[in-house]
Amino acid sequence: MPTLRLAAPVIAAQVGQISMGFVDTVMVGRLGPEALAGVALGNTVFFTLLVVCIGVVQAVGPMVSQAAGAQEPGVIERSVRQGLWLGVLLALPAFGILWFIEPVLLTLGQEPETAARAAGYLQAAAWAFLPACWFTALRSFVEGLARPLPVTIITLFGVGLNVGANAVLMFGAWGLPAMGLVGTGYATTIVFWTMFALLALLAVRLEPFRDYAVFRYLRVPDREVLGELVRIGAPMGVSRGVEAGLFMITALMVGTLGTTALAAHQVAIQCAAFTFMIPVGISIAGSVRVGQAAGREDPGGVRRAGLVSMFCATAVMAVAAVVFWTLPNLLVSLYLDVSAPGNAGVVRLAVSLLGVAAVFQVFDGVQVAASGALQGLKDTRVPMLIAIATYWGVGLTSGWWLGLHRDWGAIGLWWGLVAGLAAASVLLTARFLRTTREGELAAADAGSPPVRPGVPDGGG
């Protein structure tokens, strides 16, 4: 199956990328629940902001895939160059936000000790933001050409480097002092700069990527292509940010319930994030195949590619749901010593949260696959509105009401996640089916070679 052949290395890269957060959580867990709460808060802020920015930069992906389908190499080159410029424009303000985040965390009701630990981690990790954006631009280029293996290899190398850098910087080695959470942040910076440098080297030296002069003429921004990237990518970034914001604000609300609740939340959300990387990889593969079919002016191929990616994502997450439901104690034991009396409260709550996570796994897979298929069509504006309405209008509202107003605590906040993701999965799937059906009907009515699938709202 073409989707799975393309998705397999992408999934491996996604799992490798989330493994960095897994490694951070597991290694910080050795420092105790207080440190785990600090990295939970810091990771949530960092990756929420990063998800927004790389969501915008990922507009390079549909630009490249559609241009590849239409055999327009010049458009590919210009898109990647402006993706690098876009990374600079996004990373600069993000750096400032991360550097001065501690007063914001205190204002949002976080415990002072937890906020201080998270702020130290974020100031060290802030230096990773620019290379992360640049890596995303090059990754979108490579994957848009349906050649994702180099990204997979580099990402897996990054996981190993992250383990080593954490060991040295967190616990001290080779004459360096033990820096704890701050060392974790610096390890993140080292990993992202290394990954970007390696992918840039491959883009210059390896076929077929070196056939595209993506690093030439970088001195002056191309306003036309940069503007199109922003038009496509800004709604993507907002959608990513709204979804990530659902999880970030949920984490902040959990943080007001105390260190035990926040530590349990971090364990459970890491498990959910790990399995989520599989449908994310399928979604990226589906987006590439949809974009290339659109570039070839093949509406039937567009619809098939999108539906296959949604089916595959649903099947995978159904299996993950069964694992979460039947083996929660085993999963929690990967992060904490479940036999230690001091961890008993965290373990109990984490197991309960994984039961709720089992419910939203399938919805999470469907919504990300449907969103990726729509991005392949450059349809990003209406999905952005759907994200706002479902993740915040449904998810946050119901989570706040159940968790804080009805005093269900962290469990209630997580049921809000279920509600938001379920609503998004239904509406995004309906959007894709409607859009591609209209494209097929338009081609049939014309009685001639089909036009490139468009989007009714002009999204992009």
pLDDT the model gives residue 86: 92
Backbone angles phi, psi at 161, to 5 degrees: -65, -35
Read off the pLDDT of residues 385-433 as tens digits, 9 standing for 90 and up. Answer: 999 999 999 998 999 999 888 878 888 998 999 999 999 999 999 999 9
Whether the per-residue pLDDT at 32 is higher than 80: the answer is: no
Kindly report the number of other CB atoms within 10 A of residue 177's CB atom: 10
Whether the per-residue pLDDT at 456 is higher than 80: the answer is: no
Residue 379, domain member (yes or no):
yes
Residue 452, domain member (yes or no):
no
Give the range of the structural domain holding residue 331, as residue numbers without chain letter.
2-446
Contact criterion met (CB below 8 Å) for 143 and 164: no
The closest alpha carbon to 237, from 432, 57, 22, 17, belongs to 57
Read off the pLDDT of residues 102-111 as tens digits, 9 standing for 90 and up. Answer: 888 888 777 7
pLDDT the model gives residue 2: 64
The closest alpha carbon to 137, from 216, 214, 30, belongs to 214
Q: What is the rounded distance in angstroms from the CA atom of residue 204 to the CA atom of residue 193?
A: 17
Specify the range with the lowest mean pLDDT, choosing from 40-44, 325-329, 354-358.
40-44
pLDDT the model gives residue 451: 35
Contact criterion met (CB below 8 Å) for 263 and 28: no
Residue 451, domain member (yes or no):
no
Backbone angles phi, psi at 383, to 5 degrees: -55, -35
Between the alpha carbon of residue 428 and those of residues 71, 190, 360, 398, 422, the distances in Å are: 29, 37, 16, 20, 10
Contact criterion met (CB below 8 Å) for 163 and 23: yes
Residue 456, domain member (yes or no):
no
CA 202: distance to chain centroid?
23
Which segment, 112-121, 252-261, 395-404, is predicted with the most confidence on average? 395-404
With a CB cutoff of 8 Å and minimum separation 6, the contacts of 268 are: 350, 353, 354, 357, 414
pLDDT the model gives residue 368: 92
Higher pLDDT, 245 or 5: 245
Classify residue 406 as exposed, middle or buried by CB count within 10 Å of its CB (0-12, 13-18, 19+): exposed
Residue 58, domain member (yes or no):
yes
pLDDT the model gives residue 4: 65
Between the alpha carbon of residue 243 and those of residues 94, 221, 250, 391, the distances in Å are: 18, 30, 11, 6
Read off the pLDDT of residues 162-192 as tens digits, 9 standing for 90 and up. Answer: 888 888 887 777 777 767 778 888 998 999 9
Kindly report the number of other CB atoms within 10 A of residue 334's CB atom: 15
Q: DSSP states of 19-87 as a string?
A: HHHHHHHHHHHTT-HHHHHHHHHHHHHHHHHHHHHHHHHTTHHHHHHHHHHTT-HHHHHHHHHHHHHHH
Categorize the per-residue pLDDT at 455 as very low, low, confident or very high, splitting at 50, 70 and 90.
very low
Residue 455, domain member (yes or no):
no
- Rounded to two decimals, what is the model's pTM? 0.74
Residue 356, domain member (yes or no):
yes
Residues above pLDDT 90, as percent of the chain: 24
Residue 255, domain member (yes or no):
yes
Q: What angle do CA 149, 129, 108 make, to 5 degrees?
A: 125
Q: What is the rounded distance in angstroms from the CA atom of residue 256 to the CA atom of residue 41?
A: 11
Backbone angles phi, psi at 3, to 5 degrees: -60, -45
The total number of structural domains that make up the chain: 1
pLDDT the model gives residue 453: 39
